[in-house]
Structure 1
Amino acid sequence: MKTILWAALSANGNYAQSGPDNPPKPEALADFTAHAGQSGNFIVGRRTFEGMQASGGGAVFEGLDIVVVTKRVKEIAGVTVVSSPEEALQYLASRGHSTALLAGGAELHNAFLGSGLVDELVFNVAPVLEGKGLNLVTDQHEYQFKDVELLDCKPLGSGVVQLHYAVKGSL
């Protein structure tokens, strides 16, 4: 199964932290919705999922297989709850999916990267600088350095640029 890690980043490489003062760029949200629709699914951490629900984004994802990875709760209405990245991929494969979209957050992205489970990266880089924030950590486990190959680079609008990479040696 091909696993695509999707993230919105700030121009200085941190995860773009959205909130009332800094809402996500509509172009990035539209791109995520398109990727989720193409995959038919997405994998997300519990806190990120709760943030999606709080912002009213749930209706857009009706009909998709949503998998929440968490060890803290056993059940969340309307989604499948699993306890590990591997279990998330096994579930989606059992449902007939050939691609898994990894939505986030940072802790879950790093767990997938650290386990060598990411085949492609899609970064939507927003035209903002953030002084503090979360980032991808590639020095966990044996995943200390990995070459990537640029597959595509395109503007999405409003200064958002998308970088699409293949993780070398994973496909």
Structure 2
Amino acid sequence: MKTILWATLTANGNYAQSGPENPPKKEALADFAAHAKAAGNFIVGRRTFESMAGNGGGGGPFADLDIVVISKSAPEIPGVIVVGSPEEALNYLQQKGHQTAFISGGADIHNAFLGQGLVDEVIFNVAPVLEGKGLNLVIDKDQYRYKQVELLDCKPLGGGVVQLRYAINL
């Protein structure tokens, strides 16, 4: 199964943190929805899902998708599957017959997949904002190492958002 990690970064390279003072760009949200629909699923952390659910994230345009929430402590959530690890999420989607797993957030979930070498491709939407203090995406918390990537595509999405798509060379 192909795994695609999707994230929005700031122009200075931080993992973009959305909030009332810095809402997500509509172009990035539309891109997320298009990729999730194409994959037929998305994997998300509990906190990110809860913020999405407050904005209709569990229904509406995502009602027909397999949504997998990764959480070690969340109880059952109606309409989604809750699992405890990245491996369980991928196993569930593979058993459901999906060819692609779409990993959508947040930073802890992204870092868990990256750190375990479970990502084939990354899609970064770079938002036109600088962030003073932010989170980073890491491939290994304990070591300073590199992972080669291959640029597959680069395109503007509008609103100053630029998308970079990379294959991760294993």
TM-score by length of 1: 0.95
Match of 1:158 in 2: 159
Which stretch of structure 1 is more off in the superposition, 104-113 or 139-148? 139-148
Q: What 5-or-longer segments of structure 1 have no aligned partner?
A: none
**The residue matched to 2:108 in structure 1 has which SS?**
helix
CA apart distance, 1:137: 1.4
Name the counterpart of 1:119.
Answer: 120
Q: In structure 2, what residue type is equivalent to 1:110?
A: N
Q: Is the 8 Å Cα contact of residues 43 and 68 (structure 1) preserved in structure 2?
A: yes
Q: Secondary structure at the match of 1:36?
A: helix
Q: CA–CA distance in 2 between the matches of 1:40 and 1:141?
A: 34
Answer with 135-144 or 77-86: which moved more. 135-144
Q: Deviations over 1:90-129 (max 9, x none)?
A: 0000000010000010001000011100000000000000
For residues 142-164 of structure 1, what are the alpha-carbon distances to aligned partners after superposition, in whole Å with 9 as ceiling and x for unaligned? 79321000000000001100000
Give ranges in structure 2 of 5+ residues lacking alignment: none
Q: How many angstroms apart in 2 are the aligned matches of 1:138 and 1:111?
A: 8
CA distance in 2, matches of 1:67, 1:29: 18
Q: Secondary structure at the match of 1:15?
A: coil
Shift of 1:74: 3.3
Partner of 1:86: 87
Deviation at 1:139, TM superposition (A): 2.3
Q: Please say if residues 71 and 82 of structure 2, whose CA atoms lie closer than 8 Å, have aligned partners that are also in contact.
A: yes
Normalising by structure 2, report the TM-score. 0.95
Which residue identity does 1:92 align to in structure 2? L
